[in-house]
Amino acid sequence: MTDEPLLRVSALSKFYGSRVGCDNVSFDLWPGEVLAVVGESGSGKTTLLNCLSTRLLPSSGTASYRMRDGQFRELYRMSEAERRFLMRTDWGFVHQNPADGLRMTVSAGANVGERLMAVGDRHYGKIRATAVDWLSRVEIDEDRIDDEPRAFSGGMRQRLQIARNLVTGPRLVFMDEPTGGLDVSVQARLLDLLRGLVTDLGLAAIVVTHDLAVARLLSQRMMVMKDGRVIESGLTDRVLDDPRAPYTQLLVSSILQV
Amino acid sequence: MTDIATYNFAYLDEQTKRMIRRAILKGIAIPGYQVPFASREMPMPYGWGTGGVQVTASIIGPDDVLKVIDQGADDTTNAVSIRAFFKKVANVAVTTDTGSATIIQTRHRIPEHPLTAGQVLVYQVPIPEPLRFLEPRETETRKMHALEEYGLMHVKLYEDIARHGRIATTYAYPVKVEGRYVMDPSPTPKFDNPKMHRSPALQLFGAGREKRIYAVPPFTSVVSLDFEDHPFEVQTFDQPCALCAAENVYLDEVILDDHGGHMFVCSDTDHCEKRREEGHRGHLASETHLAPGNMEPAQ
């Protein structure tokens, strides 16, 4: 870990008219760190994620990102072209619904290769070899490379989406409920895979989830949101084992025990 | 029948022509960029060349000589009708000779005879957006053009190779104009793509239904997209034209009977007829009843 954060967020707020999306959120994210954002539906988790990934512009506040050259750039002052370039090179975004993050009508190989071609790769053989490599890393058989994601199961689609995002070697990945809608055994394998990839590649990630078990498995640090505000944050183990805010205590005690 | 005097010269009113000329000038200034324009209703259905006709009507003058081709042929319904239309509403000279035309309106071909400086080639374009079938949102494709995000175009070519082992796109093959805009050359066969590169003629593209005009000025670089290990190549034919024995031209397959008989002939009828006048003969040239168009008897 270096002595400078990757992302600095300060007093970020987003209002939808008079309604609050997220209010006055500040934190630093360090390289290689996984931060979980938890809270119930409507607590502002996804709004926060969309603001950070510049898919939404916040009403106020700043976020600056340390580029590969070591310089901090303020996200909301970058041109759209720069933001979109960042989005397809240094960042990844894993959607809850893989159909939102994949091109459903082109083959798995092309889905993985698209980012490479977008940054100027023009050698078919190399693109395909990289795609094969990434499919195997996310445990998709090589002979599925020319199949469309439409023919994939939910878990495979989600793994394909992850491969598509990681192929350019991003440093920061945003995940919105990456395991939502998957059954528990598929979920477990996906989490295992994600944990492995994050560790191997030294990725920083911001994971939005309402599933505290996912947060415990993946993240080192955690923020709990309610009504658009961060009510508690700290090391994941600390927050889950010793919740301080009454709402966090309620949340933790609401976990179903099997 | 209405008298011709009730039409403005070349059918369109002068205000409309000015508007279209402005779009054309903008298109020429930004090669390959699709300029929106207020496409008018024309006395023909969409898909029959309303864009091309509006462009031609806006640039044609009394001294122009007009040639109209449809898939390379001067004698198909669409070509004959549009030629007759301008003869009637603009009273201009018309020709089938590529060399003597000043304006050539075309659907889906570039003539075989090399174009020269001063000539204008007007393309009829059905779908001007090369990214349309990959990204259906026009708001998004315009942004992609603006930001020069063309990775998606290669996704299409990647898919071709993955499925067919080679780039299987044979027409409307995407090109990059002057190193900047990716452009749909209209559904011309990719055989014609190299002719666009640094052509001395001005090339104008009109899409009537889609309300877009774009242009390639003379001597502009037009490069077909490809991969390093799968370079762009044009179609080749393993036999010459059956009527004029021309090689290295684009051929149409013509079915001769219902027993599988067929022949390959030049799609450019003017080129084929010229060659036959010069004495070139293909292996089926004597059978005059098989030939398309009006042919002189075999010698």
Band the pLDDT of B269: cuts 50, 70, 90: very high
CA distance A65 to A68: 10
What's the pLDDT at B3?
A: 56
Are A34 and A223 in contact by the 8 Å Cβ rule? The answer is: no
Confidence of residue B298 (pLDDT cuts 50, 70, 90): very low
- Over 80: is that where the pLDDT of A181 sits? no
Q: Does residue B290 register a pLDDT over 50?
A: no
DSSP three-state, residue A119: coil
> Which residue from A minimizes the CA distance to B133?
A105
Round the average pLDDT of chain A to a whole number and report it: 92
> In this complex, do B155 and A127 lie within 8 Å of one another by their Cβ atoms?
no
CB B106 within 8 A of CB B69: yes
Rounded distance between C-alpha atoms, residue B34 and residue B129, angstroms = 8
Residue B5 has what pLDDT?
59
Cβ burial B90-108 (10 Å sphere, 16+ → b, else e): bebebbbebeebbbbbbbb
Contact A128 B149 (CB under 8 A): no
Query: What local confidence, expressed as pLDDT, does residue B294 receive?
Result: 46
Residue B1 predicted with pLDDT over 60? no
Q: What is the mean pLDDT of residues A23-43?
A: 93
Lowest-confidence range among B55-59, B78-82, B100-104, B286-290? B286-290
Q: Is the pLDDT of residue A1 over 80?
A: no
- In this predicted structure, the answer to whether residue B2 has a pLDDT above a threshold of 80 is no
Cα–Cα distance measured from residue B286 to residue B23, given in angstroms and rounded to the nearest whole number: 49
B32 carries an active-site annotation: yes
Q: Is residue B260 among the annotated active site residues?
A: no
Chain A residues closer than 8 Å to B229 by CB = 123-125
Count Cβ atoms below 10 Å from residue A4 Cβ, excluding itself: 12
CA–CA dist A208, B76 (Å, integer): 62
Residue B90, both tokens: 């603009």
Of B66 and B298, more confident: B66
**Residue A228: pLDDT over 60:** yes
pLDDT at B7: 80
CA distance A67 to B154: 27
Residue B288: pLDDT band with limits 50, 70, 90? low
Residue ranges per domain, chain A?
A: 1-90+170-258, 102-169
Q: What is the pLDDT of residues A111-151, one digit of tens each?
A: 999 999 999 899 999 999 999 999 998 989 999 999 999 99
Residue B299 confidence (pLDDT) above 50 = no
DSSP-derived letter for residue A150 is G
**Best A80, A104, A124 residue to mutate vs chain B (most B CBs within 10 Å):** A124
Q: pLDDT > 90: what percent of chain B?
A: 90
Residue A5 identity: P
Q: What is the mean pLDDT of residues A92-110?
A: 93
For A233-243, the pLDDT digits (tens) are: 999 999 999 99
Distance CA A216, CA B262 (A): 71
Helix, strand, coil tally for chain A in percent (to 5): 40, 25, 35
Query: Residue B120 is encoded by which pair of tokens?
Result: 């204008």
Q: Is it the case that residue A202 has pLDDT exceeding 90?
A: no
> Judging by DSSP bridges, how do beta strands A204-209 and B262-266 pair with one another?
unpaired
So what's the architecture of B2-129+174-222 in CATH? Answer: 3-Layer(aba) Sandwich (3.40)
Q: Is there a catalytic annotation at residue B279? A: no
Among A6-15, A171-180, B25-34, name the one with the lowest average pLDDT: A171-180
Two structure tokens written together for B93: 């000279």
Residue B13 CA to residue A91 CA, distance in Å, equals 53
Do residue B159 and residue A106 have CB atoms under 8 angstroms apart? yes
Residue at B72: amino acid letter: G
**CA B32/CA B176 separation, integer angstroms:** 8
How would residue A254 be classed by pLDDT, with cut points 50, 70 and 90?
confident
Provide mean pLDDT across the span B258-279.
94
Q: Which of B127, B166, B154, B155 is nearest to A104 (CA)?
A: B155
Alpha-carbon distance values, A36 to A47, A105, A128, A206, A236 (Å): 14, 32, 34, 6, 8
What is the mean predicted confidence (pLDDT) over B207-231?
97
Cβ atoms within 10 Å of B84's Cβ, excluding its own: 12
Query: Which residue of B131, B158, B176 is the best one to mutate when testing the A interface, meaning the one whose CB has the most A CBs within 10 A?
Result: B158
Question: Which of the pair, A256 or B115, is modelled with greater confidence?
Answer: B115
- Is the CB of residue A104 less than 8 Å from the CB of residue A126? no
Pairing mode of beta strands A221-226, A34-38: parallel
The C-alpha atoms of residue A40 and residue A225 are separated, in whole angstroms, by 8
Interval B160-201: pLDDT, tens: 999 999 999 999 999 999 999 999 999 999 999 999 999 999
Over range A89-104, report the average pLDDT: 93
Token representation of residue A53: 């990934």
pLDDT averaged over every residue in chain B: 92
Q: CA separation (Å) from A122 to A165, B88, B245?
A: 19, 51, 39
| Interchain CB distance below 8 Å, B159 and A84 | no
Q: Where are the alpha helices (DSSP H) in chain A?
A: 45-52, 80-89, 98-101, 108-118, 124-137, 154-166, 184-201, 212-218, 236-241, 246-253
**Average pLDDT in the B225-231 region?**
95
Give every strand in the sheet of B212-216, ordered side by side: B35-36, B212-216, B202-207, B120-124, B103-107, B65-70, B93-94
Question: Is pLDDT of B297 > 60?
Answer: no
Q: Where are the domains of chain B?
A: 2-129+174-222, 236-299
Interface of A with B (CB under 8 A): 80-81, 84, 88, 103, 106-107, 109-110, 113-115, 117-119, 122-125, 127-128, 145-146
Q: What kind of architecture, by CATH, is found in domain A1-90+170-258?
A: 3-Layer(aba) Sandwich (3.40)
| Averaged pLDDT, B15-29 | 98
Which residues, including other chains, have CB under 8 Å from residue B41's CB and lie 6 or more apart? none
